[in-house]
Structure 1
Amino acid sequence: MVQIETFSVESWMDEHETKCTHNIAETCCASISIDQLRELSEDKDRQIFQTSKALTYGAIRGSEDLRSNLARLYSARSTPLPLENILSTPGAIQANFLCAYALVGRGDHVICHYPTYQSLYEVPKQLGASVSLWNAKPENAWTPSIPDLKSLIQPNTKLIIINNPNNPTGAVLKKSLLQEIIAVASEHEISILSDEVYRPIFHSISPVDPEFPPSLLSMGYKNTIVTGSMSKAYALAGIRVGWIASRSSSIIEKIVEARHYTTISVSQLDEQVAAYALHQNTIHSLLSRNIQLAKANLAVLEKFVDKNDETCEWVKPLAGTTAFVKFHIEGKPVDSVDFCKRLIEKTGVLFVPGSECFGKEFKGYVRIGFVNNTEVVEEGMKKVTQFLRKEFDGVKLAE
């Protein structure tokens, strides 16, 4: 029997997200409807759904329209990415699962960037691999070190997993660090899986910055796999469309074989919506909407942290939709589970407790998902400030 650990963050959300009034734990950019998506398009007469098309399994590896639009996003000027090197999946969580399922197993070793989304390191464990965590620390702006990475390499290391931009910290692995990761991996012929679901929500680092992180797929190392999704950056979690892309045909074919045993294909209707959203007539307006929302809401969150600096601290995120904020009383970290439970009970505001959902060592930390609708974030953070003034002394300290 496979040993499956509780998926803490998803269990927390499942238990609490339908009971809150202000969801500031959700990691998607504020979700939009089909009607709103059409309004963002420059060609509002273009059909989203082909309603005359028979609802078969569709194209097993993903529709041509969807994969063409994705190929355009990943193609450098000199090195286009073929459609055949992209697979659609039911969300990025399935994409990441399939990569592990196809590439690692019993007797293998995996290195995973940490803290991060739990499935990235738990699924390889379930498949029988041993996993070493490559720790990022707040004193280094949540950037892990290359010497630490080198120290984790073993003769049986098959895969290095990174999450860029990072959930929960909002940090990015910058260009020079990515180059160093590739150098380490290539020396040992190790594949790299880069979970890029929060790309391209870059709200606090400019594309003209020399350290701006490109997609790992564009950096010249063939044994690279990237995953993405319509859920986070594209505000369309409800269509359950993700993808896997690699410049290695052999890696893609291994994943194709694994995929046949799982989902077979993705809903034709979902893929049509995704293709519409990623079309050149729509994608620029959609991303502009989401990046501007992230910038506006980050300013709200930064004001909150500055106003309450006697009780909380952070490393300001550079990208994505999440921030990792540490709460303390007279310098001692609070019990983040007790804090989050009291907060939702008294105010209706939902945060995610870091020590419960990202690792016991993250005492006092909560993950805040700040790219909901601005009024929700503004009202919610006002309620949190009131809670800190009136109720915070009653919160337990971390043991």
Structure 2
Amino acid sequence: MVKIQPFQVEQWMDRLETTPGVLNIAETCAASVSVDDLVQLCKDKNAPGPLSLSTKLTYGAIRGSEKLRQRVASLFDRESEASTLPAENVIITQGAITANYLLFYTLVGPGDHVICVYPTYQQLYSVPESLGAEVSLWKLKAENDYIPDVSELEGLVKTNTKMIVINNPNNPTGSTTPKSVLEKIIAFAKQRDIIVFADEVYNPLYHSLPDGQTAPPSVLALGYEKTVASGSMSKAYSLAGIRLGWVASRDKSIIEAVAVARDYTSISVSQLDDQVASYALSEPVLRPLLQRNLALARSNLALVSAFVEKYKSVCSWVKPTAGTTALVQFKKKGVIVDDPSFVLDLLEKTKVLFMPASPCFGSGHDFKGYVRLGYVCETEVLKEGLARLGNYIEQNLL
């Protein structure tokens, strides 16, 4: 029997996010939209609607409709200095979580070594470990703004290293790995024939980059064939409810291997989900949808930044530059709080929900006192959550 570590952040979310009256500022999706919202956002009022109700609901296209795969491929083409990514180099999956699992299941196993950035979504290191691979954690540091230090790869790599796993933008820190660093990672991997896999579910929400810094491209845009990227409609595109993601690679053999493994799981995605995603990624909808989410991220991050500054004797952070999440550390009279107890007490007294970082994103004493905050929710939810948190701080932590 395969043994796998409990998926802590998902178990915490599953247990607590349905608490009656909860103000969920642990959610990591940009504020969700409805199908009606997508239609309202569409700039072409003559465009066909998102759903064809006359379509027979067969399994549909097993790898995803040609229209959707072309539109996903075009997301990479917009930022690519390499050749156009063919639609056949994309497989549509039930969320990025399935894309990630299929990729690991296909490519790594006993005898392989994987290097994975840390902290990150637990799936990215726990799944390869459960499949028998050895995993080395590439630890991101607050003093380096949670940007990977490529000089450390030399001390992590082994003769059997099969894959380097990154997450850009990063969950939970909200950090950005800039293009210059990505290029160094690619160069290191290319020299050793190592696959580079990037979980890019928060791409392209690069909303608060320093002056002069441009949004980094996908790893698929950097000219190395053995690159793989996953993405989804959940985070940057506000459509978690359709459960649709993808895996894409410059290496067609990787895509074919994933397709073979995928036959044993979900076979295909829902035709309804495929149609809604295709509509959301059409040009008249995609641009205003991303403009909405980028603006929401910037305005909400300003609220959190002002809050952290107001209570700087109690909380500290590295301000995010991208994505929808932030890591914030809390102290009580100079002493770091026990974050799981803090989260549960805050929820009980205020109905405000965070995720505790030490069990969900760390091991041992890593990230003690930190919580993950999801700030790209509806602004009114965030404002009310921060107001209640402020009252809690004044009554319990000062």
1:258 Cα offset (Å): 1.1
Q: Is the 8 A contact 2:89 2:248 kept in 1?
A: yes
2:274 pairs with 1:271:
yes
Contact 2:23/2:352, CA 8 A, preserved across alignment: yes
Instruction: In structure 2, give the amino acid aligned to 1:86.
Output: V
Task: Select between 247-256 and 155-164 the one with higher mean Cα deviation.
Answer: 247-256
Structure 2 residue 383 is matched with structure 1 residue 382: no
Amino acid aligned to 1:61: R
- Whether the aligned pair in 2 keeps the contact of 1:176 and 1:211 (CA below 8 Å) is no
Conserved 8 A contact 1:24-1:351: yes
Moved more, 71-80 or 101-110: 71-80
1:255 Cα deviation after fit: 1.0
The residue number in structure 1 matching 2:174 is: 170
TM-score (norm 1): 0.96
Q: 1:290 aligns with which of 293, 303, 322?
A: 293
User: SS in structure 1 opposite 2:391?
Assistant: helix
Question: For 1:51-70, what per-residue CA distance to the aligned partner results, in whole angstroms no more than 9, with x for missing partners?
Answer: 11111110011101111111
Letter in 1 for 2:358: S
Residue number in structure 2 paired with 1:3 = 3
Distance 1:287 1:212 in 2: 14
Residues 1:123 and 2:124 aligned together: no
Q: Match of 1:364?
A: 369
In 2, the alpha carbon distance for the partners of 1:328 and 1:38 equals 45
Q: Does 1:262 align with 2:265?
A: yes
Q: Say which SS state the counterpart of residue 27 (structure 1) adopts.
A: coil
Distance in 2 of aligned mates of 1:194 and 1:77: 18
Equivalence for 2:62 = 60
Looking at structure 2, the residues matched to 209 and 287 of structure 1 have their Cα atoms a distance apart, in angstroms, of 21
Partner Cα distance (1:383, 1:210) in 2: 35
The gaps in structure 1 that reach 5 residues or longer are: 394-399
Cα deviation 1:89-117 (Å, max 9, x = unaligned): 00000010011011101111100011000
Secondary structure of 2:372's aligned partner = strand
Query: Partner letter of residue 158 of structure 2?
Result: Q
Sort the Cα spacing of 1:367 and 1:172 in 2 relative to 1 into closer, same or farther, 3 A: same
Q: Deviations over 1:33-91 (max 9, x none)?
A: 11111100112342211111111110011101111111211113761111110000000
CA distance in 2, matches of 1:268, 1:209: 42
Q: Give the total of aligned pairs.
A: 392
Identical residues among aligned pairs (%): 53
- Who is 1:148 aligned against? 152
Residue in 2 that maps onto 1:28: 29
Q: CA deviation at 1:211?
A: 5.3
Indicate the SS of the match to 2:217: coil
Change (3 A) 1:115 1:78: closer
Q: Is the 8 Å Cα contact of residues 72 and 81 (structure 1) preserved in structure 2?
A: yes
Closer, same or farther in 2 for the Cα pair 1:94/1:291, shift >3 Å? same
Alignment correspondent of 1:307:
310
Cα shift at 1:149: 1.4
2 CA distance for matches of 1:213 and 1:146?
Answer: 16
CA distance in 1 between counterparts of 2:334 and 2:354 reads 21
Q: Which runs of 5+ in 2 are unaligned?
A: none
Per-residue deviation at 1:331?
A: 2.9
Aligned to 2:39: 38
Q: Deviations over 1:177-224 (max 9, x none)?
A: 101101110111000110000001111017x84553111110111100
| Greater mean alpha carbon deviation, residues 243-252 or residues 324-333 | 324-333
**TM-score, normalising length from structure 2?**
0.96
251-260 or 116-125: bigger deviation: 251-260
Query: Is the Cα–Cα contact under 8 Å of residues 312 and 326 in structure 1 kept in the other structure?
Result: yes
1:60–1:265 Cα contact (<8 Å) kept: yes
Contact 2:30 2:237 (8 Å CA) reproduced:
yes
SS in 2 for 1:282: helix
Query: 2:284 aligns to what SS in structure 1?
Result: coil
- Post-superposition Cα deviations, 1:230-281, rounded to whole Å, max 9, x if no partner, equal 0000000000000011111111111111111111111100010000000011
Separation in structure 2 between the aligned mates of residue 390 and residue 59 of structure 1, nearest angstrom = 57
Query: What letter matches 2:128 in structure 1?
Result: P
